[in-house]
Structure 1
Amino acid sequence: MPASAALSTAPHAPAGATPLLRLRDETFDAHQLAAYNLYLTVGGGRVRMAAIEKARQSFVLLEDHALPPGGLPALAAAHDCLGRAGWHAVRLATTGGAFTLLPAALFRPGDEAAALRLHHALAPAEAAYARPHPALELVNVFAADAALADWLAATHGPAGQLLHHTSGLLAGLAHQRDAGGPRRLYLSLGHHELALVVLGSQLEYCNVFAFATAEDVLYYTVLVMQELGLNPDQDELTVWGELTHDSALFTLLRNYVRHVRFGPRPYDLFYSYRFNEVFDHRYFDLFSLHFI
């Protein structure tokens, strides 16, 4: 499948905008939102959204939009269902490196800003939030746009949950991984941002890096492998996100890491046949919001 096959335009786009991707199964009913969970990731000038039908555990909607002036609230106001209340659940994940993972036993509600202050100064428009990971016995503390959190609460009420995109990534990896498998490095590539995770019998490493070039991605990947005692000639690297089999970045990674493979979609879920237009290794962190 050529790289261009991952892009699709369709009628009924938000006013004044053409989606980067818009895939909907014929069974999706925008008048029965209570039958679906809505998952969103926001960052890098984009919002990606997916809807899963609860009864069938099947994804029936996948869209990728450039954020217009006014951000997500402006996009939602022009969208046929994004800004409407009534979804069974809404999970909105923000991207960026302003997060930290703390042992659950050491975290106290109200300490969010203090925990972030060690490596991130909150901007005037930001606030600190926390999301527990019971399965990993961790709490993800992160910074997000306070206006975005206010929009989520005002639009979707108690159904809306705000979290960091690494929460989705970690939940997906925990679900996907064989508990008895070897230590392994996982890479999730976004728009000028990559997340690297090392997972063995427990989580050993998780960090987000900004990058400008393919060489930056290679540098951070090899650096983490060296620091965590992984061997580029022996240990496997699993990759998800915004790259293709014929990209310069993938070729560069394979020149320095012998065993590189693209990861699959999250297991134990179903996907509309329309999603066949998209490579399986794309949108893993978005789909994995289902496991939170």
Structure 2
Amino acid sequence: MAYISVVDYHLVRKVKSNKFNVDHLSQYNLYFLLGKQHFKFCIIDTKSNYCLLLEDYLIGSNDQPDEIVDTLKVLFESHHLLNAGFWGSIKLAFLNPKSVLVPNLLFDKESLSDYLKLNCEIHSDEVCYYYKHNTGKMVNVFAANKKIVAWFKELYPNLNIHLLHYRSALIEGISRQSDTSQLKSMSLFLNIDSTEVLVHERDKLLYCNQFDHQNPSEFLNYIMVTIDQLELDPNFSKVHVWGNINNKSEYFKILYKFIRNISFGKRPSVLNFGFEFDEIEEHLYFDLMGLYYCE
């Protein structure tokens, strides 16, 4: 069967700071986050820690690497900044379910595919990578498509692209915002059809898992089972939420019926934002901005 490319993308949101200066790209870091349906990026000034630009694109619902690369090619060719090759550094994170956390003591970099095969299927066109966390004494082993990785590396041949999984941004970022006064707290990051759940005891990660859901009832059932298993108190334990949710969504309403101490999470406290970003709710884009913590 012949391969037919379907290029489909449109801009969802763009916010640009008046502090942005195209002559200073060498002191700016570029963060990419790529999922099956979304492509996002932001630019961070390393000298001031200001977030200077954020753009969010829908790239269709395709999961074919060839189509994703073709879509990115068209997007990048029409963008006046992304083809520049003299950034301070670049981080590329993948939003996919192919990730597993391995304790440092059990980690062997020669066994990456073996770890992942316990959790998901690895295809022949995928490569395994890993990220050693600064917190929690663990390693995030994850998979990404060869063709997509190769395309980014060809685009920026003079830069060493730091490959990551979005879960690492959540772990590193949320651990720095955990409430140390609470014995246990839950953090939720909602994507379009899945949720990442993290449970901390002070600044120690006790639990991290992603689950799929089709409706608010499925979502609530998993949350309540996790609360029960980890012995959290739905009346007193704090639950922070980030991502694709707001106080008018059915997901938030059903959560609030059973969990009283719930609040929206904040942006990474280490980053600065101009007034232009006031239009964006603070619990959005934590998966992208949290890449700042992944060194």
Give the C-alpha shift of residue 73 in structure 1: 3.7
In 2, Cα distance between equivalents of 1:16 and 1:196: 31
**Which residue pairs with 1:6 in the alignment?**
none
Alignment of 1:62-141 (within 5 A): 62-67=54-59, 69=67, 70-141=70-141
In 2, Cα distance between equivalents of 1:103 and 1:114: 14
**Which residue pairs with 1:260 in the alignment?**
262
**SS class of match (1:153):** helix
Given that 1:44 and 1:191 are in contact with CA atoms closer than 8 Å, whether structure 2 keeps it comes out as no
**SS class of match (2:86):** coil
Q: Deviations over 1:83-121 (max 9, x none)?
A: 332111111111122111011222122211111111212
Given that 1:97 and 1:207 are in contact with CA atoms closer than 8 Å, whether structure 2 keeps it comes out as no
Cα gap change, 1:236/1:122 in structure 2, threshold over 3 Å: closer, same or farther?
Answer: same
**SS class of match (1:204):** strand
Cα gap change, 1:243/1:220 in structure 2, threshold over 3 Å: closer, same or farther?
Answer: same
**Which residue pairs with 1:151 in the alignment?**
151
In 2, Cα distance between equivalents of 1:101 and 1:83: 34
In 1, Cα distance between equivalents of 2:160 and 2:180: 32
In 1, Cα distance between equivalents of 2:117 and 2:209: 17
**Which residue pairs with 1:53 in the alignment?**
45
Given that 2:9 and 2:71 are in contact with CA atoms closer than 8 Å, whether structure 1 keeps it comes out as no
**SS class of match (2:139):** strand
Structure 1 runs, 4 residues or longer, greater than 6 Å off: none
Cα gap change, 1:29/1:159 in structure 2, threshold over 3 Å: closer, same or farther?
Answer: farther
Give the C-alpha shift of residue 37 in structure 1: 0.8
**What is the one-letter code of the residue matched to 1:162?**
L
Given that 2:9 and 2:59 are in contact with CA atoms closer than 8 Å, whether structure 1 keeps it comes out as no
Give the C-alpha shift of residue 31 in structure 1: 4.3
Identity of aligned residues (%): 27
**SS class of match (1:144):** strand
In 1, Cα distance between equivalents of 2:170 and 2:48: 23
Given that 2:44 and 2:51 are in contact with CA atoms closer than 8 Å, whether structure 1 keeps it comes out as yes
**SS class of match (1:176):** coil
In 2, Cα distance between equivalents of 1:86 and 1:223: 48
In 2, Cα distance between equivalents of 1:115 and 1:238: 30
- Unaligned segments of structure 2, at least 5 residues: 1-6, 61-66
Given that 2:41 and 2:56 are in contact with CA atoms closer than 8 Å, whether structure 1 keeps it comes out as yes
Q: Deviations over 1:156-182 (max 9, x none)?
A: 344311111010001101222244542
Q: Deviations over 1:36-88 (max 9, x none)?
A: 11112111311111111111111011110012642434422322222332111
How many equivalent pairs are there?
A: 278
In 1, Cα distance between equivalents of 2:239 and 2:56: 26
Give the C-alpha shift of residue 279 in structure 1: 0.5
Cα gap change, 1:71/1:192 in structure 2, threshold over 3 Å: closer, same or farther?
Answer: farther
**SS class of match (1:55):** coil
Given that 1:53 and 1:60 are in contact with CA atoms closer than 8 Å, whether structure 2 keeps it comes out as yes
Give the C-alpha shift of residue 32 in structure 1: 3.0
**Which residue pairs with 1:283 in the alignment?**
285
C-alpha RMSD of the superposition: 1.9
Give the C-alpha shift of residue 17 in structure 1: 5.2
In 2, Cα distance between equivalents of 1:122 and 1:16: 26
